[in-house]
Structure 1
Amino acid sequence: MRPPLPVKDGVGPTRLRIPSDGSWPTVGAFLIDRFPHLDPTEVERRLAAGEFVGIDGAVVTQHTALGEHEFVWYYREIPNEEPLPYRETVLHVDDDLIVIDKPHFLPTTPGGRYLRESALVRLRLAFDNPDITPIHRLDRPTAGLVMFSTRPDTRGLYQTLFAERRVSKTYEAVSALPDDWNPSTPTAAGHAFPITYRNRIVRDRDAQGFGLRVAVDEGGAPNAETTIEAIGAGTSRTGRRVVHTALHPKTGRTHQLRVHLSALGIPILGDRWYPDLLPEAPDDPSLPLQLLARELRFTDPLTGRSRTFISGMDLSERPVDGDVAPTPGAPR
């Protein structure tokens, strides 16, 4: 569904579904109810200014009846959005792709309280290209490689690579060292490395934070699989005893890597969602989520050539001395 409004200042329009019936006499009344954080007069002003439109570009007014539009588009506004100090690094640019190293705490795309302070908007402005679009995403707390399409003509070919799981992805994580760690025969939850872990991940409908967290369905058929290798274990620069792992997801379920390491008794350091959902708190640069998208490998659909991108970042809590040899073949 192509938006009827163009990208403006690097920011694309937001789409909102409008109910076909309900207790609201008009679309305007629904929008006032939908945005309780805005003064009703501000919503009315934006409607009168023609800032909400339907798929055909027709202006939606305060008196437009429910049922006339299934969706409306508009530009989000975040007053006083504070600049984030975390800067992306551009690793590669060609006619079709941009690859960046995304730091912890920088959103890939606009969302929540972040709009202009996202990798997508920054790249659109830096390259003066409103067609830049992410081919995949990383959560805001996760650092590492993100790939963007630069033009619509070839975007679908690269998106298909991810949809059909033809991209080999390697992540790295750092976790607290288990109390029963044996450096000569390292295990996690009784599993010897390398571990191929499978389970069924579903939305956690009963827990606080529904819509954000996921849960494990112990009785269901597995729908998530990750191979986990030990890179090493030892002491971090801050004195923590840690284990450093390489993660190769075969599937791409929401929060899969975080859930799998938590299930194995080695939850990722800095994870405020798994195994327990902690109260919301300001970002802690001293201990960001210790999860890094290290490597992407795929066969380029345009040239047929193998391509590899490797992050130049490192996890701050990785061991600086070690007492266990890596799993054979694991990244060093």
Structure 2
Amino acid sequence: MTSFDPARLQASTVCLPPGQWATVLDCLCDHFKAIDRSQWVDRFARGRVLSADGQAISANHPYKRGLRLHYFREVPNERVIPVQEAILHVDEHLVVADKPHFLPVTPGGEYVEQTLLRRLIHRLDNPHLVPLHRIDRHTAGLVLFSANPESRSAYQRLFPERRIDKRYQAIAAPLEQHVFPLVHRSRLEHAEPFFRMHEVQGPTNSETHARVLEKNGEQWRYELSPITGKTHQLRVHMAALGAGISNDPFYPSLLEGQDDYQRPLKLLAQSLRFDDPLTGQTRHFETQLRLDW
């Protein structure tokens, strides 16, 4: 008999936290406050909430601290994102893809199927794909995925141990007041709204190296190398230097409105270079995308 594999079914997993709830339904409603109770009731009714061994459970199943459950994330009427990813490399251990602007890497909020991860899982028929790093939804370019759970930890260590060289390109206004190449360090923390970051006083936790690649009148093309990997680091650092990246809806000021596919953020994950932890050979990947002026 085949054991239950939540990854194969693309099921999410949760272990119930401590509390005084009477039922699993009550716990899930309180734990996932953004999901309406009626949606959870519907998921239970359709067998979309499972026990640890993959059996559907009822909404009145008794609550138990630490109970392991699997459930299926759903977004009613999920909006199609009209962009197309490209697969650049596939082997036993790694997948490298070019992510277009506006496509999220992983499920979250209003996107589940319209994400790079889900699209690649379907295209490659590999439910074990896991992104080894993230680039935000507005950024385009290279994303590296682990394709094999057995070798995953070796590749995951490349990032916290800073054994991978990441290069980005950005287009922004001229920064004639600065001398390039330069290094910008600061402390980044979450701001309001919750998805934005800002610089604050305190010990630095972020570092970016920048140089100018090309000058074109009122716009310059920059190469940015993040030494650390804080959320929105390059976008915040460029804004702090005095030249927010072109078409950035978050920095320096938050712009309201729908995505404008004709005005993508001018930020591109250009290249990845590292020594393969399994073979010792140098691996180098370059995006096939290009930032137009």
With the length of structure 1 as denominator, give the TM-score of the two structures.
0.80
- Aligned partner of 2:82 in structure 1 is 85
C-alpha displacement at 1:149, in angstroms?
1.5
Query: Whole-Å Cα distance in 1 between the matches of residues 106 and 136 of structure 2?
Result: 10
Aligned AA (2:138): P
> Which shows bigger deviation, 117-126 or 24-33?
24-33
- Aligned partner of 1:217 in structure 2 is 200
Query: Whole-Å Cα distance in 1 between the matches of residues 197 and 34 of structure 2?
Result: 28
> Is 1:258 the counterpart of 2:235 in the alignment?
yes
Q: Do the aligned partners of residues 116 and 28 (structure 1) sit closer, same or farther apart at CA in structure 2, a change above 3 Å counting?
A: same
> Is 1:172 the counterpart of 2:169 in the alignment?
yes
C-alpha displacement at 1:81, in angstroms?
2.3
- Aligned partner of 1:201 in structure 2 is 188
Q: Is the 8 A contact 1:4 1:55 kept in 2?
A: no
- 1:12-91 to 2 correspondences below 5 Å: 12-16=10-14, 18-22=16-20, 24-32=21-29, 34=32, 38=36, 40=38, 42-55=39-52, 57=54, 59-69=56-66, 72-91=69-88
C-alpha displacement at 1:84, in angstroms?
2.0
Aligned AA (1:315): L
**Residues 197-229 of structure 1: CA distance to partner in whole angstroms, max 9, x if unpaired?**
11111122xx3x12x1112122x1111111100
Query: Whole-Å Cα distance in 1 between the matches of residues 35 and 164 of structure 2?
Result: 41
C-alpha displacement at 1:27, in angstroms?
2.4
- Aligned partner of 2:97 in structure 1 is 100
Q: Do the aligned partners of residues 89 and 221 (structure 1) sit closer, same or farther apart at CA in structure 2, a change above 3 Å counting?
A: same
C-alpha displacement at 1:72, in angstroms?
3.2
> Which shows bigger deviation, 63-72 or 267-276?
63-72
**Residues 12-31 of structure 1: CA distance to partner in whole angstroms, max 9, x if unpaired?**
22234644225x53221343
Q: Do the aligned partners of residues 45 and 101 (structure 1) sit closer, same or farther apart at CA in structure 2, a change above 3 Å counting?
A: closer
- 1:240-319 to 2 correspondences below 5 Å: 241-279=218-256, 281-317=257-293
* Identity in percent: 40
Q: Is the 8 A contact 2:19 2:65 kept in 1?
A: no
- Aligned partner of 1:321 in structure 2 is none
Q: Is the 8 A contact 2:6 2:12 kept in 1?
A: no
Q: Do the aligned partners of residues 100 and 258 (structure 1) sit closer, same or farther apart at CA in structure 2, a change above 3 Å counting?
A: same
Q: Is the 8 A contact 2:16 2:65 kept in 1?
A: no
Question: For 1:145, which of 142, 146, 149 is the aligned residue?
Answer: 142
Q: Secondary structure in 1 aligned to 2:223?
A: strand
**Residues 230-269 of structure 1: CA distance to partner in whole angstroms, max 9, x if unpaired?**
112214xxxxx21111011111111111111111001111
Query: Whole-Å Cα distance in 2 between the matches of residues 117 and 58 of structure 1?
Result: 27
How many aligned positions are there?
Answer: 289
Aligned AA (1:223): N
Q: Is the 8 A contact 1:4 1:54 kept in 2?
A: no
Aligned AA (2:65): E
Aligned AA (2:180): F
**Residues 126-175 of structure 1: CA distance to partner in whole angstroms, max 9, x if unpaired?**
11111122111111110001111211111111111112110001011111
- Aligned partner of 2:8 in structure 1 is 7
C-alpha displacement at 1:176, in angstroms?
2.2
Gaps of 5+ in 2: none
Q: Is the 8 A contact 2:29 2:35 kept in 1?
A: no
Query: Whole-Å Cα distance in 2 between the matches of residues 259 and 38 of structure 1?
Result: 34
Q: Is the 8 A contact 1:4 1:73 kept in 2?
A: no
Aligned AA (1:308): H
> Is 1:226 the counterpart of 2:202 in the alignment?
no
C-alpha displacement at 1:114, in angstroms?
1.4
**Residues 59-99 of structure 1: CA distance to partner in whole angstroms, max 9, x if unpaired?**
54322344433553200122222332211111112221111
- Aligned partner of 1:327 in structure 2 is none
Query: Whole-Å Cα distance in 2 between the matches of residues 250 and 292 of structure 1?
Result: 16
Q: Do the aligned partners of residues 70 and 273 (structure 1) sit closer, same or farther apart at CA in structure 2, a change above 3 Å counting?
A: farther
C-alpha displacement at 1:304, in angstroms?
0.8
Aligned AA (1:272): P
Larger radius of gyration: 1
With the length of structure 2 as denominator, give the TM-score of the two structures.
0.90
